[in-house]
Amino acid sequence: MLRMCKEHGFFRGNECPICGEEGKFLMSSYELESLGRIMAGILRHFPERFNLEMDEEGFVDMYKLVSAIKRKRGDRMRWLRPTHIIGLVETDPKGRYQVENNHVRATYGHSLQLSMSLPTDNIPERLYFPTTPENKENILENGLTPGDRSMVHLSKTWGDAYEAGSHREEETEPIILRIDAESAQDNGIIIQRAGKTVFTVEEIPPEFISLADEEDIQLSKKEMEERRKDLYYQGPPLEEEAEEEEEEEVLEEIDHIPDEEEDIDDDKIDDEPSDEDLEGDDDEMTDAELDVEDDEMTDEDLNEGEEETDED
């Protein structure tokens, strides 16, 4: 669940990881996951279905996003405020989102063609990519290019790549490829930091790709030990981590929020914008425009860009 400590800010769980205080309740785990799923769908794949304008950097207005979700979901998300969006973003374990100047975006996983400017500093010397035994030789010979997503997504460690590949191919053990990121950058290839464990690039030529080995596995174990020591790291240990399901389930999940889930009253959030403030832009978005029927959002629409990796 999502809570807020007066001294240390937002956190996920029952108590602040720094001071141990219970903090103020903001969202149940189910509500947090449901909001995350619908945000991922909108910000990565289909902003137009909620009548939202997205700039070339992938940002949408946070207040309009709140209004659009509330209009679409009705009473099920009547409690939604920008505070909840910010809390989700700041506590996301993999840094999937970014808030800037009252706008929010997903930092990776897009099927949309964008021109995103992301940090290019602090790129590890090695990065990793999961593949299948069938595709291994083709990648080693021809390099990496985007699949259904707009960019190639690389993982920070062998373990991160293995986890992503395991989610994508449940019946086949993934083959992990090592990317010589340092040499690639020295040769003019731009690699961007898109999240805490995810990096994006337009393509990787074959000369910078090789099979990962035992040294990479040991480096991954060392990285995971460092993560466990970090109080601010919200994710569970690698072997226990359970990723969110793909966006194809977003509408099904949100449409079946159990009645027993704890409601969030408007007065539970301090210093939040008023309903008048939040809905000030609603005149620009009619009910007909925002009331997209669920059956119009097919599994194919919701699954756009999700086959390449499950690092979202």
Given pLDDT bands bounded at 50, 70 and 90, which one contains residue 172?
confident
Whether residues 218 and 131 share a domain: the answer is yes
- The partner residues of 178 in beta bridges, in order of sequence, read 128, 210
Average pLDDT, the chain: 77
- 192 and 203 in contact (C-beta within 8 Å)? no
Q: pLDDT tens across 229-267, in order?
A: 554 444 443 333 333 344 444 444 444 433 333 333 333
What is the b/e burial string over 115-132, where b = at least 16 CB atoms within 10 angstroms of the residue's CB? Answer: ebebeeeebbebbbbbbe
Q: Which two tokens stand for residue 50?
A: 């909620």
- Which residue range forms the structural domain that includes residue 209? 126-233
* Residue range 3-39, pLDDT digits in tens: 999 999 999 999 998 999 999 999 999 999 999 999 9
Q: Are residues 23 and 88 in the same domain?
A: yes
Instruction: Give pLDDT tens digits for 102-155.
Output: 999 999 988 888 888 899 999 999 999 999 999 999 999 999 998 878 899 999
Domain boundary among 211, 233, 255: 233
pLDDT value of position 272 = 41
Asked if residue 184 and residue 103 are part of one domain, the reply reads no
**Overall residue count recorded for the chain in this entry:** 312
- Model confidence over 79-105: pLDDT tens digits? 999 999 999 999 998 889 999 999 999
In a domain, residue 312? The reply is no
In a domain, 308, yes or no: no
For residues 132 and 171, membership in a common domain is answered with yes
Number of domains making up the chain: 2
Q: Is residue 134 part of a domain?
A: yes
